[in-house]
Amino acid sequence: MNLTEVIQVFMTILLARYALDLNPELHSKVSAFDNSFRNIIDSYRQNNAIKLMQVTKSFFGYLSLFLLILLLISMYLFGQSKHVFAYYLIMSLTYSAAVWFAISWFSDKGKFAIKMLFDYSKMAVWILTLPVLDYIASQEVSITNMSLQLLLMPLEPLGISIELSSNIWINGVAIFLIFEGMFVMYLIFTTIFLAPIAISAFAFLFSTIKIANWATYFSRNRPLSPICFAILIIATLVEKLH
């Protein structure tokens, strides 16, 4: 998206906002909409880390919902004729949703990390029932050994060969540890992948609010205007860097 398109988007938002404000019946709703942006600015001014994370998460969550609705409406009204516009919407929606999930991942650890680990461990414990079934069945073919062999098959192309223990209980514990290790690696890689997304979101929103906070001096009753102005400045800088 070039600078001209960015300007057109934000000019459209501002013109729509001022047009709606001219309607007396919609004035109160527009004011409430403006107040939501004022609350964001106030939250960032207070510099409360936990509250900042929650506000940022809520902002990108609502933004994702708004972009999704806008995408569905545009596809219904314009079909494929506005495929470039739809492309930008999809990219923005993907980033906003990723930011929401990234911040949720780091702020709600009990929900997205520790709780997931405990829930996964509970499911993995059931794997330890495989040796019990083998012991009860007393068959030559061991379900535990077959399961462990399947888990170790991806290592064969790497030239890694691991001999199974003759003890089904040890093999059952090995399966359990493999599943736990896979989930821990998932947590680590997910955290590493989401960290830059969360950092970029905080940097973008923090810069926007700082500039908007300064610009609010010229538009005290309409905080949406300085926010659009701030985003426009940041978009211009990004455009120039590219």
Which is higher by pLDDT, 183 or 123? Answer: 183
Place of tokens 């993907």: 94
Q: How confident is the model at residue 73, as a pLDDT? A: 79
Residue 65 has pLDDT above 70, yes or no: yes
Backbone φ and ψ of 2, nearest 5°: -85, 175
Residue 103 has pLDDT above 70, yes or no: yes
Distance CA 83, CA 51 (A): 38
pLDDT tier at 194, thresholds 50, 70, 90: confident
Q: How confident is the model at residue 99, as a pLDDT? A: 84
Question: Mean pLDDT lowest for which of 12-16, 141-145, 188-192, 203-207?
Answer: 12-16
Question: Mean pLDDT lowest for which of 23-27, 206-210, 235-239?
Answer: 235-239
Contact 51, 43 (CB under 8 A): yes
Residue 10 has pLDDT above 60, yes or no: no
Q: How confident is the model at residue 92, as a pLDDT? A: 79
Q: How confident is the model at residue 177, as a pLDDT? A: 84
Residue 203 has pLDDT above 70, yes or no: yes
Taking only the tens place, the pLDDT of each residue in 138-183 is 766 777 888 888 878 777 777 777 777 778 888 888 888 888 888 8
pLDDT tier at 112, thresholds 50, 70, 90: low
What is the value of pTM for the model shown?
0.55
CA distances from 195 to 110, 140, 186, 187, 201 (A): 17, 49, 14, 12, 10
User: What's the average model confidence in pLDDT over 203-220?
Assistant: 64
User: What's the average model confidence in pLDDT over 76-83?
Assistant: 63
CA distances from 111 to 61, 117, 199 (A): 17, 10, 20
